Amino acid sequence: MKRGIELIAEERQRQIDVEGYSEQHDSQHKASELIYAAIAYVESAKIGINCAETGNTNEHEIMMRKVEIGRDYPFGWDFKPSTDVRDLVKAGALIAAAIDRILAELAESEGERIRGAIIDHLKDNNLTEWAAWLEKQGKQKPADKVESHFRVEKGKWYICIKNNVGITQGNVYYGISDGYIIDDNVRKYNCNNWAVFQRYLRLWTIQDAKDGDVLYHKAENGIEYIVMNKCLNEHNNIDSYFIYNSISGFGIDIPSVLSAKYDSITPATKEQRDLLFQKMEEAGYEWNAENKKLKQGEQKASYTTIVETGDGGINALVTRELPTDGEQNPTDKVEPKFKVRDWLIFNERHNSVYQVERIDNYRYYLRHYLGGTMSVHFDNELIRLWTLQDAKSGDVLCDYHEAYDNPLIFILKKFERVNFGLVRPSDYSSYCFLTAGDRQMFKEGTYHHEHNIKPATKEQREILFSKMKEGGYTFDFENKKLKKNEQRPKV
């Protein structure tokens, strides 16, 4: 069985290694505070010992009496009473920390005394320049007096890393002024005692975002995004269940538009979350937070129209309910400009490409070429028809021929006309392609004659990349190169 001095030494080392209560940390407190903390644990042990000596075995009553002592526990630390021996061990470790704190102060005082004696000696021997230099150095701050840089600042988000009075581990808090934070219920907490709260709070980062958290980002171009976070994908972008942005509105399964490198991504405020769910309901969806599933609810008859902002900026998209019977329908004369299966460009999404899946209730229901869906009204001026002029090198496209059921799927190199004499001129070259017809075979790039080129769907892209992988190739989209994978020798 270990002796008391061994238990106290182990506890002191645990406080340093696990809790981070090193001499540098303890320098932020007075020695008297450490002593008061030790006394609290001594008093806790005293209660238990007195009860045992008087025959009181009611454990609940004993623990309640011990907990009461915590009200006088200094500087907001967690007071965790336990068994009588454990309480005395903690008290001993705190006393040891207080002794170290006092010795550090004495060493500092002794160092200043010696420094003063050296300065006097230099002056007595007419070494005034050396004495003046030493005096200019000022009182040196020992290493154990270095302060933490933690401060609660206005406009920043913090996450609680350890429960304390009023704040809960894992919850996020917003700095409303220097030294004060608030929670979702606008409950205010005073964090001016930073020496305490640096153990309970730290700055929130994107790595703290959990599945089902709502995030907010305002881009440099002024577009605001509110996202129901799913995870960070392999490209360090945010995958979402659904998203709302201030230009295109509500959408589901939208491909990643936010990168974790953006410093301006933060937790959403209550108002921003309410706005996201409002737009979700207007789009006819319901969110099951427990199962992380979005389901389509009852559709509301509505239309979206463009309203002039009057300030020369981007027009606003406003959703309104359709009028009841007998009232004039403002969209009666609006006819769709596009048809199902048309490919469209949505300019405000950095020329992102969408295909019309269906047309209903004066809206186009669009699917992004990588997945994801959104809907826009007939009179939305931000969309236009995709043309060959929108195709860029590295785009995955399909060339449809009436003689084949399956199109030729290829990665575009460039459009060009090359005359091969008797061979008819080609319209474009590819880095690689998948042959048309039933027997789709992967081949390296060549020249092709254009028939009817359209963007490739997500499913067609997956077929191309699957056949590419089977053929032992990969494509580097950044450098626009088709690479042959190295063949490992068979053992």
CA atoms within 13 A on the CB side of 304: 23
Mean pLDDT of 76-105: 84
| Interval 364-409: pLDDT, tens | 888 888 777 777 878 777 788 998 888 888 999 998 887 788 889 9
Q: How confident is the model at residue 347 (pLDDT cuts 50, 70, 90)?
A: low
Q: How confident is the model at residue 108 (pLDDT cuts 50, 70, 90)?
A: low
pLDDT of amino acid 300: 46
Percent of the chain with pLDDT over 70: 74
- Judged by average pLDDT, the poorest of 52-61, 104-113, 198-207, 427-436 is 104-113
Rounded to an integer, what distance in angstroms lies between the CA atom of residue 338 and that of residue 355? 10
- 244 or 313: which leads in pLDDT: 244
pLDDT for 422 beyond 50: no
pLDDT for 320 beyond 50: no
Q: Is residue 216 within 8 Å of 267, Cβ to Cβ? A: yes
| Interval 438-464: pLDDT, tens | 777 888 888 777 778 999 998 899 999
pLDDT for 221 beyond 50: yes
Q: Is residue 425 within 8 Å of 417, Cβ to Cβ? A: yes
Provide long-range contacts, Cβ within 8 A and 24+ apart, for 259-264: 260/206, 260/207, 260/232, 260/236, 261/236, 262/217, 264/217, 264/218
Query: What pTM was estimated for this model as a whole?
Result: 0.43
Mean pLDDT of 104-129: 70
pLDDT for 24 beyond 80: no
Percent of the chain with pLDDT over 90: 10
pLDDT of amino acid 78: 67
Give whichever of 45-54, 100-109, 255-264 has the largest mean pLDDT.
45-54
